[in-house]
Chains A and B, each alone.
Chain A
Amino acid sequence: MSKFKLANILAYGFVTLFSIYVMMPIVVMVLTTFKTRREIFLKPLSLPGQYNFISFEKAFGIGLGGFMFNSFIVTLFSVTLIVIISGMAAYVLARIDFKINKFVYLLIVAGFAIPPAAVLVPLYTTVSNLGLLNSIFGIVLPLTAFGIPFTVILFFAFFLDFPREVEEAATIDGCSKLQIFFRIIIPLSGPAIASAAIFQTVWIWNEFLLALIMLNLDNVKTLPIGLIKLRGEWTSDWPAIMAGLTIAIIPVLIVFLLFQKYFVRSLAGLGK
């Protein structure tokens, strides 16, 4: 009982207040899906008078399912490419003794600092000239490029700490360098791969700016752009918009809640 001093009460109070601040918008969002538009106008603070799924039907009707599928494909391909390419590059940087090593590393860090907004127009022109606008391929490539620097840095730190005995033993056994990388290093890099994959997945799933510029056709739009379209179509049909948002958020939330231990652990790794 001596645990519950005043400091504890204050602490609980603060954390609870903050948690309410966090949960309130989500609760508002879900409740709004069940209200009618008149209710929203006239009685904003009240609970909905009915609980039906009309607004959800509308939201699906606009193609949310398709947008989520597109986001899924884009994220899957981008993250896979990023992890593999970054892992390869970071391994080289961690195992090479040339002076040029430093230069390349700095170059890659520079890549990390460059925000997409700053290079939007030439980037658009490049993708357009490659004939890749409005295609899944066309958005995956630039997203991969922008995800590589950060992931290289992450893998680089990991590989630096990675003991070389295993690789030496493998060399003695006659494996070529590439074999060592693909058959030994990668399988042993589980934690780093998980961290990288988690970070990049969250970032790419939510990526907005590049998708806004490059994906104009409905059949390739990703979820964030699809949500904007939702709003454009029904600007004052708030129940429908909120239903759309709820549908958009739920899968990610579920994944997060199931795997939250890993999310947190990978963040802890970042701090080191």
Chain B
Amino acid sequence: MRNFLSRFWTYFFLTFITLSFANSSYAIDIKVWDLSGRSGQTELYEILDKEVKKYNPDINVVLVEYENEAYKTQIQLALNGNDGPDVFFNWFGEDSARLARAGLAMDLTDYKNMEGGYGNFISEAWQNAGAVDGKIYGVAIKAVSKYFYYDPAFFDQHNLSVPTTFNELLDTCRSIRAIDSSIVPWPMGNSERWKLNHVITMLNQRVVGAENSKADYALTASEDELFTNPKYVEAWQKVVDLQDAGCFNDAPNATHPDLTRSMFASQISPMMYCGTWCGNIFSSEGFEDFKMFRFPRVEGGADDGTVGFLVAEGLQVSTKTKYPKEAALVASLSVADDVALADAELRGSLISNPAKIDQMKDASHWFTFYVNDIADKSGHVNVLDVLLEANVSNAYLDMGTEILNRTKTPQEAMDFIRKVALEAKAAM
């Protein structure tokens, strides 16, 4: 009995200890965290790895992927711990600035013009997309925007025209329902709260305007004025109008965004407000004959409909990395000419370094549209859940849910947001 037991425990502990050391390696591994679910990403990182090795053959680029929802939480936890990434993806806005201010994202200003530095590849405008208080805390790789996608075959068949104003959009919805009340004109999948948030971002831009919202968003407005502009209420009312016109499906808060994408791709629904990442998704689900139009201007609104949704995205470097120079190099080279080209081809990204874009093989019709349309816009607005302070952002997300559920009126929603904003401002 004793022999058996002691042998058992010996093997037990040996196995235990071996398994816990199973993951050691010897070269310089630069861990890059990025979002999952994007086709072509693995190949892209292999190309980045090759590019990095031209400058420093000892570096291995190791990709770790996370799905979208968990990412925001995981990244904050990881950056505070000891086992986080060296380089990581982030949306550029409050999300990236917060990390910079907290000392968790590295200042990359000094690496701009080193050999392989990002300053060699992207314009100053793009560099500044990753800037906080004049210093650069991230390399902007690409941007995402949003458009209305529509099914021209359906529109032609029923003599519908592309709406250019908000009221025309309401009419389009009503017409579609009149054709067949079981068709959902514009499926809204808000179960993760951000789908409607993108819409209210645009509505705020169209109705309230960039100038009038700047101070509120940055929480620099005075306490008497913070989020008191009645135009914010009007923007929420537009959402109610959309819902009343029958644009959306029932139960939008219980519907997942991916499902609505499938509805458009299967041509069950003729319209969809979706990101520039959606073109490839529709194509992969078998639908390529779609077209796009911009978020319409609102009659009597504060802007003329040419400002579009734009969120810059890129890579930041963790201050806890053991290899700052190598990590900065990896982040920089992600916008190198060949890598940027590969990014456009593999992930369909709207890249920040257009040097080789003419060499792009088989640019899809939607990609060409995006690139041209973005260059054409007069200005850009960042999405609220990346732009706003965490609590205010959360409030906006929750109010979207309540507006769709009709559990709060637009005025009540803004009262709540104002309350949260005041608390956040006081805590600053």
Contact = CB atoms under 8 A, between A and B. Distances in A.
A218 B259 CA distance: 26
Interface stretch (B74-82, B124-132, B332-340): B74-82
A232 B68 contact: yes
Contact of B266 (A38, A128, A212): A38
B67 A136 contact: no
B67 A135 contact: no
Contacts of A189: none
Interface centre among A212, A218, A232 (most CB of B within 10 A): A232
Contact of A236 (B20, B23, B258): B258
Contacts of A134: 83
Nearest to B12: A80
Given A129-B82, A137-B16, A233-B67, A219 B36 contact: no
A229 interface: yes
Contact of A124 (B5, B70, B77): B77
Given A77-B16, A135-B20, A232-B70, A128 B36 contact: no
Interface in B68-98: 68-70, 74, 77-78, 80-83
Contacts of B1: 183, 187
B80 to A, nearest CB: 8
B37 interface: yes
Contacts of B68: 232
Contacts of B263: 41
A235 interface: yes
Given A124-B81, A233-B36, A233-B37, A41 B266 contact: yes
Contact of A182 (B5, B70, B259): B5
Contact of A137 (B20, B81, B261): B20
Interface string B9-44: 000100010011001000000000000110000000
B64 interface: yes
B20 A217 contact: no
B183 interface: no
Nearest to B65: A218
Nearest to B31: A217
Interface centre among A133, A137, A235 (most CB of B within 10 A): A235
Contacts of B37: 232-233
Contacts, number: 66
A236 B259 contact: yes
A72 B161 CA distance: 59
A128 B80 CA distance: 9
A216 interface: yes
A235 B74 CA distance: 19
A219 B20 CA distance: 12
Contacts of A128: 80-83
A182 B268 CA distance: 68
Contacts of B23: 135, 219
Contacts of A187: 1
Nearest to A232: B67
A37 B83 contact: no
Nearest to A77: B16
A136 B77 contact: no
B47 to A, nearest CB: 21
Nearest to A219: B23
Interface centre among A125, A216, A217 (most CB of B within 10 A): A216
Contact of A216 (B5, B74, B257): B74
A22 to B, nearest CB: 24
A37 B12 CA distance: 46
Nearest to B260: A236
B66 interface: yes
A41 B258 contact: no
Interface centre among A80, A124, A183, A217 (most CB of B within 10 A): A217
Contacts of A170: none
A107 B70 CA distance: 35
Given A41-B268, A232-B69, A235-B259, 17 more contacts: A37-B262, A41-B266, A133-B82, A133-B83, A135-B20, A136-B19, A183-B2, A216-B74, A218-B64, A219-B23, A232-B37, A232-B67, A232-B68, A232-B70, A236-B258, A236-B259, A236-B262
